[in-house]
Each structure stands twice: as C-alpha cells, then as structure tokens.
Amino acid sequence: MWRLAIYLFCSTVLSCLLAGMSYAQSAATATILGRGVDPQDALLPDAKVTAINTVTGVRRSGNTTSSGDYAIPNLSPGTYDIKVEASGFAVGKAMRIKLNVGDIGRT
C-alpha cells in the first residue's frame, strides 16, 4: 500500500515538473501580429510577411490571411524589422519592433 502511495506521489510530482518545463519553453518567445493593407486601407490577402531580427539577421516568414491578418509566433526576444510584400505594391515596412519574452507586438 505504501509503495502505491509513493509511486502515485512521485508520478504526480514528475508530471507537474514536466508541465512546468514545457510551459517555460513556450513562454520564452514572442509573437508579432498585424494586418497587411495598402495606402487606401484595402486588405492585402496572401501577402508575404517577413520578420527580420536586426541583430542576428534571422528571418521568419508567413503570409497574410484572406482578411489581411498575419501572425508570426515563436520569435526570440529582440528587435525586428517587418516587411510586407504583395504583387503590384511597394514593400510595406515596420521598423525596430522590440519584443521581450511573452510580448505580442502589433504592427
């Protein structure tokens, strides 16, 4: 009986530790959200969006949705330049977006 109680206690503690570690790993990043629009505020569906870390040069890309929205998750903390590119339009830019751990930057 004591062995079962000790086993259950150890299993519970281990499960809690693993859950905490996985949360810590996912929480060490940041996200950039935005909406691609042209100069007249018309939506830009399926535009290419690139987040560039200004220190490391690491790039993460995605596309806007049919409503022009985009999200680039799991970014390391740092400062980013954002480019939005759509056929027939000049490149849109948002410069020097600073992200800390857990931030949701909006452009």
DSSP 35-85: E-B-TT--B-TT-EEEEEETTT--EEEEE--TTSEEEEEEEPSEEEEEEEE
pLDDT at 97 over 60: yes
pLDDT of residue 84: 95
The pLDDT tens digits for 48-64 are 999 999 999 999 999 99
pLDDT at 71 over 60: yes
Give the pLDDT mean for 69-82.
96
d(CA 73, CA 103): 10
69-75 and 30-35: which strand pairing? antiparallel
Segments making up each domain of the chain, as ranges: 29-106
| Homologous superfamily assigned to 29-106 | Carboxypeptidase-like, regulatory domain (2.60.40.1120)
**Using 50, 70 and 90 to split pLDDT, how confident is the model at 38?**
confident
Q: How much is the mean pLDDT over the chain?
A: 83
pLDDT of residue 86: 94
d(CA 67, CA 81): 22
106 or 62, higher pLDDT: 62
**Using 50, 70 and 90 to split pLDDT, how confident is the model at 39?**
confident
